[in-house]
Amino acid sequence: MTDPATNFEAARDELALVVQQLESGGLTLEESLALWERGEALAALCQSWLDAARGRLDAANPQGSVPGDA
């Protein structure tokens, strides 16, 4: 399972590796399923960090406009 101490960048990098391994093929069904499950967990972890970051930005800027948003 995902280590809660893993930082966003490490989780993102591991997710990219998981995708690369899945795309390369040559894995057994069990290996593919295990990688898929790991990728799903990493994607959810990254999304939670992104959601938290968005919440912090929204809280810091009550008007709701973040520079760069279009």
Domain range annotation of the chain: 25-57
Q: Given a cut of 80, is residue 68 above it in pLDDT?
A: no
The string of pLDDT tens digits covering residues 1-56 is: 445 557 999 999 999 999 999 999 999 999 999 999 999 999 999 999 999 999 99
In contact, 41 and 2? CB cutoff 8 Å: yes
Q: Beta strands of the chain (E only): which ranges?
A: none
In contact, 18 and 35? CB cutoff 8 Å: yes
Q: Given a cut of 70, is residue 64 above it in pLDDT?
A: no
What confidence score (pLDDT) does residue 63 get? 80
64: CB partners within 8 A, 6+ apart: 58
Q: What single DSSP character describes residue 11? A: H
pTM metric for this prediction = 0.76
What confidence score (pLDDT) does residue 61 get? 87
From first CA to last CA, the distance across the chain in angstroms is 37
What confidence score (pLDDT) does residue 1 get? 46
